[in-house]
Structures are given as C-alpha cells and as structure tokens.
Structure 1
Amino acid sequence: MTTKSEPLEPGSLLFDPATSKVGEYQAKAGPYAMLRPVGGGREWQADPASLRPATLRERLSAEVGATNRHTRAAGACVPPDPEDLSRPPRPVPGCRACLALAEQRDSAQASYDRSAETDANVLLRQHQRREHRA
C-alpha cells in the first residue's frame, strides 16, 4: 500500500485491488488516484491508500494483454513482409532451388557458421526476387 511518505510517480504501474487491474498512475484528482490501463484506454479512479506497486508477474500480464489487444486491433492476420530483413526468408513450397538454399542455411545454422547462414539467406532472397516475384 502506498503511504504519504511514498509519493505516487506519474507513469508508475500500480495494482488496484478494487478492480484487480494494473494501471499506470496519471495524476491525483481530489481524493482519488487516476489510473489508466497499460497500453492506453479509459482512466479510472482508485483509492490511493489501497494501491500498491504491481509485481513483475502482474506487470508482464498487463503488458502482454495490451500487446494482444493492439495486435488484434491492427489485424494480426497480415502475413510477414517478404522484404523484412529481420526474419529469414521462407522457401516457396514446391520450389527445389528454394528448398536447397533453405537446407544450406539450416546446415550452416547447425554448425554455427553465421557467415554461411547469412550467405544462404541472401541467395534465397535473390532467387525469390528473380523467380517468384508476383
């Protein structure tokens, strides 16, 4: 529970036992603390004396919930961008050249040869641009 010696800091994550929710402290409004759901949303009033810092588990749960809500709202069924270089390219089903390059990459990964793994990814992307560009 918070006390007068522990001032509430804007942005701190607090657990409200009255609602069993984690909220981000916004400000004080009269006798109440104003909390906003993690990730945004409608604020609610809480009794400052009953609030306590959220545990790591409660924080993670609230953050994962917020991420899931945003993902669903944005349309999670969108396929990954083939030009996204942060992900390894996927072989096109039924293409022997793609499969051979993917196997080459897997072999390099298994032997911890990051240079050969990167080379295989580059070759696979080049092949896909040449042969499979729609």
Structure 2
Amino acid sequence: MNIGAYVVDTRDGRIGRVMGCVGPWVQLRPPGGGREWECPDELLSPAPPGDVLRARVRAINRDGRLP
C-alpha cells in the first residue's frame, strides 16, 4: 500500500488515507483528518475517485461549521 493513497476498509466501507504500515496492519486516517484506525492489508481495496471526493467535501463542509 502506498502512503498517501486512498483506500476503502471493506469491513465497514470507510474511506481512509494510508498513513503507514506496521507488519500486516495499515494505519488509515479519514480524508478530512481525525482519529486513525488500523486495518489488515488484505481487507483494503482502492477507493473510487468519486467516493474520495465526496468524503473530502464532507470534511471541508464539517470544518467550515466549526467556530
């Protein structure tokens, strides 16, 4: 998995950006930032560009509402 790539955690459908790898585990972070989570490499698939764009727009909109 390339660091910076967007992938889908097939366990629950979340989109994450690859932050690093430790053994069989890949560390992921949501497109707009937030809490990282880990997923086994074999349970990841490439994220479709449209899904990444939607996730990034949601994060931008969320951040725009914060004080």
- State TM-score, norm by structure 1: 0.47
Residue 57 in structure 1 maps to residue 50 in structure 2? yes
Residue 46 in structure 1 maps to residue 53 in structure 2? no
Would you say how many aligned residue pairs link Structure 1 and Structure 2? 67
Structure 1 segments, 4+ long, off by >4 Å, are none
Residue matched to 1:15: 8
Q: Residue by residue, what CA displacement relative to the aligned partner does 1:29-56 show, whole Å, maximum 9, x if unpaired?
A: 2321100010111100112112111002
> AA paired with 1:48?
D
State percent identity of aligned pairs.
Answer: 36
Residue 35 in structure 1 maps to residue 35 in structure 2? no
> AA paired with 1:18?
R
- State TM-score, norm by structure 2: 0.88
Distance across 1 between alignment mates of 2:15 and 2:21: 17
Unmatched 5+ residue regions in structure 2? none
Higher Cα Rg, which structure: 1
Distance across 2 between alignment mates of 1:14 and 1:33: 10
**Higher relative contact order by CA 8 Å / sep ≥ 6: 1 or 2?**
2
RMSD between aligned residues: 1.2
Unmatched 5+ residue regions in structure 1? 1-7, 75-134
> Comparing both structures, which one devotes a greater share of its residues to helix?
1
Residue matched to 1:127: none
Secondary structure of 1:73's match? coil
